[in-house]
Amino acid sequence: MVRECLVLAHSEDDKTSGLLVECVKALKGQGFRVIVTDHFINEEAYELADAYVYNYENPILRPEQYSEYNLNHITERNVDGYKVWNPVTTFAAYAIIDMIKGAYDAIKTDKCLILNYDWQIKGNIDEYFNYDTDGVFFKYADDSSYYTSIFIANKKILRELNAINSIEDYATNLKYLEWFIYDLYKDKNITVLDNPPLDRFNHDMNYRVSNVKINKKFYKTDDNKAIFINDDKIEEYTLHNKYRIFDGDKELLFNLGEEYFKYHIAQKHFFK
């Protein structure tokens, strides 16, 4: 029996393009029929894949839109006595649903593995296709969330996504995709397992949240001042939306706008 995989990709640069190609190669090595869905035409991945879906539209949200949807999409880091928060550069939950919907007609088999492009299979997972249910999902952060970087679904339950046709539709239950998918499928005829087979994949090789940069940025502190992280130094400033700084003989000018300090926040650690 032919196994099939839909690879969700965004191959915008050399790193992500390389990860996509390696993902497809690994799947083909395990005998999968491979469909790639992407916002770019990756020539090498196109040559390797059995089907390719190009998506012109990429309906993401950006930080300047987060307040419109009451979305708190930020990541937390610790640095030199401070806890700092940065906005994640995009919220792509609905865009991922849109990609799956757009690839629906390219799926030819009854059950399909849905996989992020930064996962590379290295072992057999045939037993996960043998469950007599409409899908196989894996618990994510808690009992109310499922992995969305890896799951198996048939076309019957993938059709459930057709009811979500815009970001506004998604925003009626606005939450991270792992919790959204749980709400959508929790009462369906699916198998839920505690853990995905991580030992059979190289996985999460482009985890975006861990890539958020904190250097050369301003953060608003809880005493209504600003700190500037400059390599191994933290400098304190009064709070403004424009700054002019000299770093050695280099001049840096920052035009931060009105929304910047809503999402770039710092809190000093106090240790006893």
Indicate which CATH number applies to the domain containing 131. Answer: 3.90.550.10
pTM above 0.85, yes or no: no
Per-residue model confidence (pLDDT) at position 77: 77
Per-residue model confidence (pLDDT) at position 263: 76
- Are the C-beta atoms of residues 110 and 15 closer than 8 Å to each other? no
Q: Rounded to whole angstroms, how far apart are CA atoms 267 and 234? A: 13
Same domain, 194 and 230: no
Per-residue model confidence (pLDDT) at position 271: 44
Alpha helical stretches, state H, the chain:
14-29, 43-48, 63-66, 93-102, 155-158, 167-171, 177-185, 260-263
The total of structural domains in the chain comes to 2
| Angstrom distances, CA of residue 117 to CA of 54, 98, 165, 180, 185 | 15, 16, 24, 21, 23
Per-residue model confidence (pLDDT) at position 136: 98
Alpha carbon 66 to chain centroid, angstroms: 16
Per-residue model confidence (pLDDT) at position 222: 86
Per-residue model confidence (pLDDT) at position 191: 98
Where among 176, 193, 209 does a domain terminate?
Answer: 209
Cβ-in-10-Å burial (0-12, 13-18, 19+) of 63 comes to buried
- Give the model confidence (pLDDT) of 182-202 as tens digits: 999 999 999 999 999 999 999
232 within domain boundaries: yes
- Are the C-beta atoms of residues 40 and 12 closer than 8 Å to each other? yes
- DSSP per-residue letters across 184-196: HHTTSS-EEESS-
Where among 209, 228, 252 does a domain terminate?
Answer: 209
Same domain, 205 and 239: no
Range of the domain at 158: 3-62+89-209
Low-confidence spans in the chain with pLDDT less than 70? 207-212, 269-272
Per-residue model confidence (pLDDT) at position 170: 92
Where among 164, 191, 209 does a domain terminate?
Answer: 209
Same domain, 162 and 122: yes
Q: Rounded to whole angstroms, how far apart are CA atoms 60 and 97? A: 11
* Dihedral, CA of residue 25, residue 30, residue 31 and residue 37, to nearest 10: -50
Q: Rounded to whole angstroms, how far apart are CA atoms 248 and 234? A: 15
163 within domain boundaries: yes
- Are the C-beta atoms of residues 122 and 27 closer than 8 Å to each other? no
Residues whose CB falls within 8 Å of the CB of residue 239, separated by 6 or more in sequence, listed in order: 220, 224, 225, 226, 261
Q: Rounded to whole angstroms, how far apart are CA atoms 248 and 243? A: 16
76 within domain boundaries: no
Residues whose CB falls within 8 Å of the CB of residue 35, separated by 6 or more in sequence, listed in order: 4, 5, 6, 7, 49, 50, 51, 52, 53, 103, 106, 107, 112
| Angstrom distances, CA of residue 67 to CA of 53, 71, 118, 194 | 32, 6, 30, 34
81 within domain boundaries: no
- Are the C-beta atoms of residues 11 and 42 closer than 8 Å to each other? yes
Per-residue model confidence (pLDDT) at position 272: 37
Q: Rounded to whole angstroms, how far apart are CA atoms 26 and 6? A: 13
Alpha carbon 76 to chain centroid, angstroms: 16
Q: Rounded to whole angstroms, how far apart are CA atoms 234 and 226? A: 10
Same domain, 45 and 101: yes
- Give the model confidence (pLDDT) of 135-164 as tens digits: 999 999 889 999 999 999 999 999 999 999
